[in-house]
Structure 1
Amino acid sequence: MKAQLLFVDDEEALRSLMAEALADHGYEVTTAPNGREALLLLRSKRRFVIVITDFSMPEGVSGLDVIMEATRAQPEARLVVASGLSRSQLPPFPPAVTFVPKPYRLEQLVAAIEHGVPRDPHGIAPSGR
């Protein structure tokens, strides 16, 4: 079974590219174009091993809101925030959150998410490599 990953970004081209690339790395990728849709997914019965979100998004729901909801609703998920702002320009995140500066390369993102993804025989690690 592939690790379930939620990728949240308002940039459609980046969202599509990363969804395909992360799927090629063995993840089952679900995307959301904004924070509002991400919150709905996080509150649903779907379980995500990894949540990757852009920090700055339209419609009044930021990446921080997504991370806070993921921490509450899916505390087992690995959390990654990406932003074009520097880390010092962002508010504090929970300690378990990994920050990835934009623009990033696929290898940087994969390294950030795989760093905290357990690899065990129960299928929560990426597959298909």
Structure 2
Amino acid sequence: MSQASGKIILVVEDEAIFLQILVEYLDGEGYRVLQAGSAQEAFAILASKPQLDLLITDFRLPDGVTGVMIAEPALKLRPDLKIIYMSGEPEAIFASGTPTIALAPILAKPFTLRRLHSQIQSMLS
């Protein structure tokens, strides 16, 4: 049984093509993948799904929402949830002052799928 078996990942990304690439890749690796193209979709999923293992979220989302604004309440609902931030401007995540920085690695865009895979394995091991 692979490490991916049964693991559920929520991917939040507003760039449709990038979201599609991530979802297809993670699905191919054997993860159950939920996807959200907006903060509103992410909050609906978080409110309705009883179990998630990992949240991968873009930092800058439409309407002034950040991945931190999704991750912090998600952690309150699921304290053992793992988080990975993605950003073309990783310094903005540090500037946000979020305490989740200590728990969540940041993947600077662009990144390779190999790097993503390595980070996920590290988080879920």
- Common fold by TM > 0.5: yes
Kindly provide the CA deviation profile for residues 10-69 of structure 1, in whole angstroms up to 9, marking residues without a partner as x. Answer: 000011111010111110001000112111211223311010000001033211111112
Q: List structure 1 segments (4+ residues) > 4 angstroms apart after TM superposition.
A: none
* Residues in 1 aligned to 2:86 and 2:97: alpha-carbon distance in whole angstroms: 14
* 1:92 to partner: Cα distance: 2.8
Match of 1:3 among 7, 28, 49: 7
Structure 1 vs Structure 2 CA RMSD: 1.3
User: Does the alignment pair 1:112 with 2:115?
Assistant: no
Q: Counterpart in 1 of 2:35?
A: 31
Counterpart residue number, 1:96: 103
Shift of 1:89: 2.9
C-alpha distance 75-18 of structure 1, shift in aligned 2 (>3 A) = same
Gaps of 5+ in 2: none
Aligned length: 117
TM-score, normalised by the number of residues in structure 1: 0.84
Structure with higher helix content? 2
Find the residue that maps to 1:26 and give its secondary structure.
Answer: coil
RCO higher in structure (CA 8 A, sep ≥6):
1
Pairing 1:46–2:46 present: no
In the other structure, the counterpart of 2:19 is 15
